[in-house]
Amino acid sequence: MPLDLSSDVVTLTAALCDIESVSLDEAALADAIEEALTALTHLTVTRIGNTVVARTDLGRGERVVLAGHIDTVPLTDPPNLPTRRLPGSGDEGEVLWGRGTVDMKGGVAVQLRLAATVPAPSRDVTYVFYEGEEIESEYNGLLHIQQQRPELIEDAEFAVLLEPTGSIVEGGCKGTLRIDLTTKGTAAHSARPWNGHNAIHDLADVLSRLAAYEPRTVVVDGLEFREALNAVGISGGIAGNVIPDRATVTVNYRYAPDLTEDDAVAHMHEVFDGFTFAVTDNAGGARPGLDLPAAKAFVDALGVEVIAKQGWTDVARFQAMGVPAVNFGPGDPNLAHHDEERCPVSQLESAEAAMLRWLA
């Protein structure tokens, strides 16, 4: 069934959710979004795989990006679709229940409503509906745009990623670095350990450094980012009667966006001086850019709380393309991917109203 962009934001969110779009299976939803947007004569629509980009071209003095991913994590068993409107608990009020209501088809519905109901926004808008956010980076639609058609995004001054934030603004994001730090010993029978050297015991120094580490709290563009350094995995040993000749601890460093990816690696060399390690993942963070006029206008128009994003999101991909970005969208992020995923109806409505204040 075609999407009806004239329906209210809650009904539209339900319609989007009810078109299943688990990662790598977004084609049906991308088709529906492309069809609905192509019917809007004030937009120029481009499709790259299962990613759809729609742009206004009004000659405004400023261009902004509104972006949201259209894929979801897998459904539950039994499936948490089709969506249902239900009484909420506590102060939730009425909720829309089902996979995607939080992460993040509520935000996508807000984008579509704006595209349909604001044909002459106060600044030019690039709407991005992208695939493959919930899985490996190689499938991410923003990455595909960056590789194939970067001009579709790079001419923007500012971007809003409509990920769930509980309808507050979360600026920028922290970077994330993972390393595998390995110690090497000599295998021996555990009854005669003096014939070997225990690699697991050598990790004691690593773990003591982690326990004593005092992470930074850094203010970037007016927002406070709290760094974190933690062991997130440990392995070693091959049998209960063998002195282990190899042991590995996996460390995750969540670093503030004032550091580059190379800065983060250099800091790990400082912390673990004397040890060797391998970098297994490193994704840089993103500055909020709240000192920029476009960002300030956004925050002023919404009139909501602004905090730092303490995790990593695709706003970092925008920064890589030279576009500062923030996170703002309906839904409690703690309910993303939850079996009982649900979004208060009032948050869907208030998120749309807030974005209208900015663009209308």
Question: Which pLDDT band, with edges at 50, 70 and 90, does 245 fall under?
Answer: very high
pLDDT at 10: 98
Domain membership flag for residue 4: no
The answer for residues whose C-beta is within 8 angstroms of residue 78's C-beta and 6 or more apart is none
Task: Evaluate whether 299 touches 290 at the Cβ level (below 8 Å).
Answer: yes
Alpha-carbon distances, residue 296 vs 254, 287, 290, 293, 325 (angstroms): 26, 14, 6, 5, 12
What's the CATH code of the domain at 263?
Answer: 3.30.70.360
What's the CATH code of the domain at 161?
Answer: 3.40.630.10
The reply to whether 316 and 261 lie within a common domain is: no
| Stretch 197-205: mean pLDDT | 96
124 catalytically annotated: no
Domain membership flag for residue 3: no
The reply to whether 168 and 292 lie within a common domain is: yes
Given 283, 311, 342, the domain boundary residue is: 283
Question: Which pLDDT band, with edges at 50, 70 and 90, does 155 fall under?
Answer: very high
The reply to whether 230 and 293 lie within a common domain is: no
Where do the DSSP E strands lie in the chain? Answer: 44-48, 51-55, 63-69, 84-87, 94-97, 124-130, 158-161, 169-171, 175-184, 188-189, 217-220, 223-226, 228-236, 242-243, 246-255, 277-283, 306-308, 325-327, 342-344
| Stretch 102-108: mean pLDDT | 97
Tell me which of 34, 103, 124, 133 is the catalytic residue.
Answer: 133
The reply to whether 210 and 314 lie within a common domain is: no
The reply to whether 244 and 124 lie within a common domain is: no
The reply to whether 305 and 162 lie within a common domain is: yes
pLDDT at 83: 98
More confidently predicted of 320 and 48: 48
Question: Which pLDDT band, with edges at 50, 70 and 90, does 43 fall under?
Answer: very high
Given 238, 263, 283, the domain boundary residue is: 283
- Write the DSSP symbol of residue 286: B
In this model, does residue 136 exceed pLDDT 90?
no
pLDDT at 272: 98
Helix axis angle, 105-117 to 27-38, nearest 10°: 20
Average predicted confidence (pLDDT) for the chain: 95
Domain membership flag for residue 2: no
Containing domain of residue 244, as a range?
175-283
* Predicted TM-score of the model (pTM): 0.86
133 catalytically annotated: yes
In this model, does residue 109 exceed pLDDT 90?
yes
Based on its alpha-carbon atoms, the radius of gyration of the chain, rounded to whole angstroms, reads: 23
**pLDDT cut 90: percent of the chain above it:** 88
Domain count, the chain: 2
Task: Evaluate whether 195 touches 189 at the Cβ level (below 8 Å).
Answer: yes
pLDDT at 137: 85
**How buried is 51 (Cβ within 10 angstroms: 0-12 exposed, 13-18 middle, 19+ buried)?**
buried
The reply to whether 49 and 135 lie within a common domain is: yes
pLDDT at 93: 87
pLDDT at 311: 87
Q: Each residue of 150-178: b (16+ CB within 10 Å) or e? A: eebbeebbbbbbbbbbbbebbbbbbbbbb
Given 262, 283, 304, the domain boundary residue is: 283
Domain membership flag for residue 344: yes
The reply to whether 166 and 189 lie within a common domain is: no
The reply to whether 184 and 278 lie within a common domain is: yes
Tell me which of 34, 71, 157, 341 is the catalytic residue.
Answer: 71
pLDDT digits (tens, 9 = 90+) for 286-327: 988 888 888 888 999 998 889 999 988 899 999 888 898 899
Question: Which pLDDT band, with edges at 50, 70 and 90, does 92 fall under?
Answer: confident
